[in-house]
Amino acid sequence: MISFVNSMTINWLESTVIEIEVDINAWLPVFTIVWLPDQWVQESKERLRSALKSSSTKLPTSRITVNLAPANIKKSGPSFDLAIAIWILLNEWWITNESFIKDSIFIGELSLDGKLRQVTGVLPIVIWAKEKWFKRIFLPEGNCLEASIIPWIEIIKIKILKDLINILNLEKELDIQEKFDFKKLNDFWKKDNLWELENKYDFKYVLWQEHAKRALEIAAAGWHNIIMEWPPGSWKTMLAKAFSTILPDLSLDEAIEISKIYSISWLLSQKKPIITKRPFRTIHHTASSVSIIWWWRNAKPWEISLAHKWILFLDEILEFQKNVLEVLRQPLEDWYINVTRVNANYNYPAQFSLIWSMNPCPCWYLTDIDKDCKCTFNQVKNYRSRLSWPLVDRIDMFIEVPKVKTEKFKVSEDYSWRETSKNIKTKVEKAKSIQLKRFKEDKITSNSEMQTKDINKYCLLDKESNDILKQAVVSMNLSARSYYRILKLSRTIADLEWNKDISSKHILESLSFRKKNDD
| Predicted confidence (pLDDT) per residue in 68-117, tens digit | 998 888 788 888 999 999 888 877 665 556 778 889 999 999 999 999 99
Contact present, 136 and 39 (Cβ < 8 Å):
no
Q: Which residues of 230-261 are buried (b: 16+ CB within 10 A; e: fewer)?
A: bbeebbbebbbbbbbbbbbebeeebbbbbbbb
CA angle 71, 76, 82 (to 5 degrees): 95
> Which one-letter amino acid corresponds to residue 281?
R
Banded pLDDT at 26 (limits 50, 70, 90): confident
Report the DSSP pairing between strands 226-229 and 116-117: unpaired
Could you tell me the pTM of the whole model? 0.85
Banded pLDDT at 194 (limits 50, 70, 90): very low
Q: What is the mean pLDDT of residues 383-400?
A: 88
The class of domain 187-425 in CATH terms is: alpha beta
At residue 237, does pLDDT exceed 90?
no
CB-side neighbour CA atoms (13 Å) of 164: 33
Alpha-carbon distance of 392 to 358, in angstroms, equals 12
CATH 3.40.50.300 in the chain, residues? Answer: 187-425
Q: What is the mean pLDDT of residues 193-211?
A: 70
Cβ contacts of 193 within 8 Å, gap of 6 or more: none
Q: What are the two backbone dihedrals, phi and then psi, of residue 33, each rounded to the nearest 5 degrees?
A: -115, 125
Alpha-carbon distance of 188 to 182, in angstroms, equals 10
Alpha-carbon distance of 480 to 466, in angstroms, equals 14
Mean pLDDT, the chain, integer: 85
What angle in degrees, to the nearest 10, is found between the helix axes of 252-264 and 122-131? Answer: 120
At residue 22, does pLDDT exceed 60?
yes
| The pLDDT value given to residue 155 | 96
* Percentage above 70 pLDDT, the chain: 89
At residue 411, does pLDDT exceed 70?
no
At residue 291, does pLDDT exceed 80?
no
Alpha-carbon distance of 397 to 110, in angstroms, equals 52
Closest-CA residue to 132 (of 144, 119, 150, 117): 150
| The pLDDT value given to residue 191 | 55
* Percentage above 90 pLDDT, the chain: 33
- Spacing of C-alpha 180 from chain mean position: 21
Contact present, 395 and 353 (Cβ < 8 Å):
no
Which fold is adopted by the domain 5-168?
Ribosomal Protein S5; domain 2 (3.30.230)
> Which one-letter amino acid corresponds to residue 203?
F
| The pLDDT value given to residue 202 | 83
| Alpha-helix residue ranges (DSSP H) falling in 354-498 | 377-384, 389-392, 421-438, 452-458, 463-475, 480-496
CATH 3.30.230.10 in the chain, residues? Answer: 5-168
Q: What is the mean pLDDT of residues 284-302?
A: 73
Q: What is the mean pLDDT of residues 488-517?
A: 93
Alpha-carbon distance of 416 to 495, in angstroms, equals 27
Banded pLDDT at 296 (limits 50, 70, 90): low
Residue, of 327 and 104, whose pLDDT is higher: 104
At residue 60, does pLDDT exceed 70?
yes
Alpha-carbon distance of 495 to 248, in angstroms, equals 15
Contact present, 32 and 65 (Cβ < 8 Å):
yes
Q: What is the mean pLDDT of residues 47-68?
A: 86
What radius of gyration do the chain's Cα atoms show?
A: 28
At residue 1, does pLDDT exceed 70?
no
Banded pLDDT at 412 (limits 50, 70, 90): low
Burial of residue 419 (number of CB atoms within 10 Å: 0-12, 13-18, 19+)? middle
CA angle 184, 187, 192 (to 5 degrees): 130
Q: What is the mean pLDDT of residues 41-70?
A: 87
Q: Length of the chain in residues, anyone?
A: 519
Q: How many CB atoms lie within 10 A of CB 274?
A: 23
At residue 382, does pLDDT exceed 80?
yes
At residue 417, does pLDDT exceed 70?
no
Q: What is the CATH number of domain 450-519?
A: 1.10.8
| The pLDDT value given to residue 475 | 92
